[in-house]
């Protein structure tokens, strides 16, 4: 799976935009992780994070499960175009599962801190947030997530695509077209975006 498809990446982008807003002209989130919490206050943020024995064991059990089921899992991530989950991608995932650092990545899934609310992080980016959501993502409740965005994030642009967990890889032409249109719209409204960076 391409690293950029991980939902935690979208959440990390939101954190960077929220903390260092001067670095961002706009925010594009794709199948993002994170929570939208009405009335959220940063005062409730907790820095207490530990890796427990359960996390240690869970990561190792998950690794075994993934190695034996990777083909079916990947195909479920690409429901609109299952052929994108081809042998090359499957073999690359299996190879990557033997990387010495993979266990730490899996441990982070259990301990990743999502306590900073997305709506809090994205304050000040009104009219500059694009959410692209694969509506067939097996890892999230897409409809509920988008409903929360619409209700609690002001003037957010939402594009629903008929894809799974990796819409940018499953439907690259459609997703690229959405992002290009978004960038062009921002530029025409006097909000310049670093197009070259988006194209890299």
Nearest CA among 131, 195, 120, 128 for reference residue 158? 131
Structure tokens at 55: 């996390």
Q: Would you state the pLDDT for residue 144?
A: 93
Stated pTM of the model: 0.76
Q: Is 104 exposed, middle or buried (0-12, 13-18, 19+ CB in 10 A)?
A: exposed
| Residue 124 sits in the same domain as residue 190 | yes
CB distance 80 to 164 below 8 Å: yes
In this predicted structure, the answer to whether residue 35 has a pLDDT above a threshold of 90 is: no
| Residue 100 sits in the same domain as residue 132 | no
What average pLDDT does the segment 88-92 reach?
94
Domain holding 62, by residue range, is: 53-111
Q: What is the dihedral of CA 19, 102, 164, 26, to 10 degrees?
A: 20
| 106 belongs to a structural domain | yes
Distance CA 35, CA 122 (A): 12
Q: Would you state the pLDDT for residue 189?
A: 74
User: What's the structural domain count of the chain?
Assistant: 2
Place of tokens 């009405």: 38
Cα angle 32-126-159, degrees, rounded to a multiple of 5: 45
In this predicted structure, the answer to whether residue 107 has a pLDDT above a threshold of 80 is: yes
Report pLDDT digits (tens) over 144-200.
999 999 998 888 999 999 999 999 999 999 999 999 999 998 888 764 443 333 333
C-alpha radius of gyration, the chain, whole number: 18
Report pLDDT digits (tens) over 39-76.
876 645 455 555 678 888 988 999 999 999 999 999 99
């Amino acid at each position: 799976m391409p690293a950029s498809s991980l939902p935690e990446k979208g959440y990390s982008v939101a954190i960077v935009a929220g903390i260092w807003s001067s670095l961002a002209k706009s925010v594009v989130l794709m199948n993002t992780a994170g929570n939208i919490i009405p009335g959220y206050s940063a005062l409730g943020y907790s820095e207490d994070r530990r890796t427990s024995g359960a996390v240690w064991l869970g990561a190792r059990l998950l690794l075994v499960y993934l190695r034996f089921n990777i083909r079916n899992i990947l195909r479920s991530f690409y429901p609109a175009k299952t052929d994108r989950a081809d042998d090359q991608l499957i073999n690359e995932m299996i190879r990557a599962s033997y990387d010495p650092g993979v266990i730490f990545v899996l441990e982070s899934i259990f301990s990743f801190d999502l306590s900073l609310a997305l709506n809090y992080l994205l304050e000040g980016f009104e009219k500059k947030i694009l959410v692209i959501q694969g509506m067939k993502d097996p890892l999230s409740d897409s409809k509920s997530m988008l409903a929360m965005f619409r209700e609690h994030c002001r003037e957010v642009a939402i594009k629903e695509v008929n894809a799974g967990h990796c819409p940018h890889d499953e439907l690259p032409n459609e997703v690229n077209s959405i992002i290009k249109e978004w960038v062009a719209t921002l530029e025409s409204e006097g909000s310049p975006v670093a197009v070259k960076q988006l194209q890299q």
